[in-house]
Amino acid sequence: MMQRLKVLLLGPFVRKSVVFQFGFVGSMLVQAGAGVVLARMLGPEQFGRYAIIMSLAAIGSALLGAGAADAMAPVLSRARYSDDGRGLRDAMLFLGKFVSLTALGVALLAGILLPPLAGVLYGDAALGWYAAIVLLAAGISTLLFTPTQLVLQVFGHIRRLSLLTFTDQLMRQIFVVGLVVAGLGVLGAAVGHLVGVVLVACIAGLFWRALRRSGTLLPSCAAFLHERPKNGREHLRPTLWVLADRNLAMLYGAAPVAVAGIFLASTDVSYFKIALGWMTLALSVLSPVSTLLNTELARIQVQEPRRLRSQFIKVSLVAMGVSTFVTAIAALVAQPVFTILYGAVYAPAVSLVYWLIPFGALFGLGVALGPMWRALNKVKISIGINVVALSIGIPLGMVALAQWGMVGAVAMVTGWYTVSHGVSFTYLVRLLGKR
């Protein structure tokens, strides 16, 4: 028993996960620290507006091609382990062109649609303009930062991946906080994201040049514009399906605050945002595992297909155990932490953390779902499950918000995740059992 535990804990995947944790969790801590400063500087009302802006931008970013990296991760992983250099280059060329086109399209749509939409939903068109600035920053991020992250992961440069992930949030939040402190308010926070992303894109470019010098067949930045992938059509359809699936998953994270803002005052939105953000920060320890599973499950599928089902179940159950433990700790320390960091004015957020305990405990069940759907090429099933869950869940969530206010918002987000994760996990376990 001890020997098996030692092998599990010292395995290469666990070691990579731990290394990636430093950068990812570090970036989350930077983001959380910046959130504390912003909450104190802006106050509950303006911080609530900022939360709505970020949610609108996150919903808009569902149209970006960043999710294409998740679609191409198994393709690149299989190409690498099959020594298919040409296939790897074609996959990267496709990804580069895809994210460039989607970034341009979304940037144009953001300026046209978001201001009037915010005016209708929240009675404040300025929220839409600020969200468009943040969305433009997200579009720039997908151009080189996202492909660089993916290649670092596929080639096993986890330390560099960890450093780049941390640098991304550090640069963003320095400018976000700096411009708010300078007196520019919510507008400064939005512009800070844009300035930080431009600098991070330059840093990602340096990483990309270093990767090309290592002897891989990665294309240059110029090749992304002028060279066509030979198998572009072959990648397009599965990429669109994976993109739709990933973007639905993003809606689960972004939509609760945006929907809550329609029914709640901005101060109540800030309380809900802080409580949900606190729980999400605690659960961020699981996100690197999900990211690395995009390539790890593809590797197991190629090299050890008989272990695929058992590894999926093991990772999911262990992750749920971790999420339950982390949630309990987060709830236990919420009262003193909120009092010290946010101040007494945000005290109503503490009780919402306690209501979110079921959400956090069950969250870990979904860690391996996305990577497994993509590895099995069954993304259409995942999309169907999530579309049905949101189609029913959003109207029910609105009813809950109208009836119970902030507690209704907690019920809404808990119901969305529980139904989606539970149905998806059950389906995949049965499917893998038949195989």
- Are 286 and 322 in contact, with CB atoms under 8 Å apart? yes
Q: What percent of the chain has pLDDT over 70?
A: 87
Average pLDDT, the chain: 82
pLDDT(2) > 50: no
**Predicted local confidence at residue 72, as pLDDT:** 75
Query: What's the rounded Cα separation, in Å, for the pair 266 and 315?
Result: 39
pLDDT average, residue stretch 288-298: 71
Angle at 351 between CA 345 and CA 352, to 5 degrees: 100
Question: Where are the domains positioned within the chain?
Answer: 2-434
pLDDT(247) > 80: no
Judged by DSSP in three states, 378 sits in coil
pLDDT average, residue stretch 180-198: 92
Query: What's the rounded Cα separation, in Å, for the pair 284 and 56?
Result: 21
Judged by DSSP in three states, 435 sits in coil
Handedness of CA 95, 98, 101, 107 (dihedral sign): negative
pLDDT(313) > 50: yes
Residue 7: band (very low, low, confident or very high) from pLDDT cuts 50, 70, 90: very low
Angle at 418 between CA 416 and CA 422, to 5 degrees: 125
**Predicted local confidence at residue 177, as pLDDT:** 94
- Are 264 and 405 in contact, with CB atoms under 8 Å apart? yes
Tell me the per-residue pLDDT of 383-400, one tens digit each, with 9 for 90 and over. Answer: 899 889 889 999 999 999
Q: Rounded to whole angstroms, what are the CA distances from 118 to 43, 114, 255?
A: 21, 6, 14
**Predicted local confidence at residue 23, as pLDDT:** 65
Tokens of 19: 């290394």
Q: Which residues contact 93 (CB under 8 A, 6 or more apart)?
A: 219, 223, 224, 227, 228, 229, 232
Judged by DSSP in three states, 259 sits in helix
Greater pLDDT, 21 or 404: 404
Query: What's the rounded Cα separation, in Å, for the pair 286 and 174?
Result: 25
| Of 377, 371, 381, the residue nearest 420 (C-alpha) | 381
Q: Which residues contact 278 (CB under 8 A, 6 or more apart)?
A: 330, 334, 337, 338, 349, 353
Lowest mean pLDDT among 37-46, 210-219, 260-269, 322-331: 210-219
Query: What's the rounded Cα separation, in Å, for the pair 212 and 218?
Result: 6
pLDDT average, residue stretch 231-257: 76
Query: What's the rounded Cα separation, in Å, for the pair 361 and 325?
Result: 8
Tokens of 144: 């080189």
Tell me the per-residue pLDDT of 391-433, one tens digit each, with 9 for 90 and over. Answer: 999 999 999 999 899 999 999 999 998 999 999 999 999 988 8
Tokens of 410: 């907690």
pLDDT(6) > 50: no
Q: Tokens 């690197």 identify what position?
A: 288
pLDDT(1) > 60: no
| Of 309, 308, 311, the residue nearest 319 (C-alpha) | 311
Q: Which of 142-146, 166-170, 298-302 has the highest mean pLDDT?
A: 166-170
- Are 308 and 432 in contact, with CB atoms under 8 Å apart? yes
pLDDT(298) > 60: yes
Greater pLDDT, 45 or 293: 45
Tell me the per-residue pLDDT of 96-108, one tens digit each, with 9 for 90 and over. Answer: 778 777 777 777 7
**Predicted local confidence at residue 10, as pLDDT:** 45
Query: What's the rounded Cα separation, in Å, for the pair 264 and 176?
Result: 26
pLDDT average, residue stretch 204-209: 82
> How many alpha carbons fall within 13 Å on the CB side of residue 40?
14
